[in-house]
Amino acid sequence: MTKSIKSGIIHSNQYSLERGAAMWKKLRAYFISLAMIFLLYIASCKRKSGSGTNPVPLYGVAPAYGVPAVMLTEAEGRERIHLVFDEESVTFANDYAFTNTGPDIEFEADGYESVKKVGYEFLSQDDAADDNPVTALDTDERTGLATLYTADQVYFEVFDYTSYMGYGDKAAALGALEADVRTFIADLKSKGVLNP
């Protein structure tokens, strides 16, 4: 190679090195800026009150992305429960004012069959927000119903809507509800309340 070609290559390599160093300085400034923005974001967060250590931005919790939670309505839950019990020839009185003394229970059951003493409550999102002591089913009353069930006096099952929220679609959630209703029916048959 000639001297001029060699010097051109050396000059070209030197230019590339200078250009690379300038580019590195720009990238370094970019990453430092990015790190500063991240630190400012963390500094602008506050901790949740109470327990937990997850930072929450001052402007609120970010919206959740992905598949929305399936929520069965009161009408959907009741309809599926009635369909399954229709197969067993059980007809419920809707919105039955159920009362019991010892344990004290007073609430409006979604369905009750007084001859067989079988009832149910589909605890929907609306029911969870109900604070009327006459219509709402509170925790003590649920415990009382469980006591009566164990004593074979009254057979109530509470189907809670939150048990069916983890499903991807309504059909799957309704299928899970139906499976729970069939489990309830199987227990009633084993106790001799319903015909096997």
Assigned domain for 63 exists:
no
Task: Give mean pLDDT, residues 113-126.
Answer: 92
pLDDT digits (tens, 9 = 90+) for 2-46: 555 555 555 555 656 667 666 767 777 777 877 777 766 666 655
Helix axes 74-86, 170-190, angle to 10 degrees: 40
Specify whether 12 is located in the same domain as 82: no
Q: So what's the pLDDT on residue 152?
A: 92
Within a domain: residue 179?
Answer: yes
pLDDT averaged over every residue in the chain: 79
The model's pTM: 0.64
Per mean pLDDT, which range of 9-23, 81-95, 124-138, 139-153 is the poorest? 9-23
CATH number of the domain at 162, please.
Answer: 3.40.960
Mean pLDDT of 102-110: 90
Residue type, 32: I
107 shares its domain with 165: yes
Could you tell me if 49 and 88 lie in one domain? Answer: no
In a domain, 62, yes or no: no
Residues of the domain holding 116: 74-190
**Is residue 20 included in any domain, yes or no?**
yes
- In a domain? residue 65: no
My answer on whether 50 and 83 are in the same domain is no
3-state secondary structure the chain: CCHHHHHHHHHHHHHHHHHHHHHHHHHHHHHHHHHHHHHHHHHCEEECCCCCCCEEECCCCCCCCCCCCCCCCHHHHHHHHHHHHHCCCCCCEEEEEEEECCCCEEEEEEEEECCCCEEEEEECHHHHHCCCCCCCCCHHHHHHHHHHHHCCCCEEEEEEHHHHCCCCCHHHHHHHHHHHHHHHHHHHHHCCCCCC
What is the distance in angstroms between the CA of the first residue and the CA of the last residue of the chain? 101
d(CA 177, CA 70): 13
Per-residue pLDDT at 55 exceeds 50: no
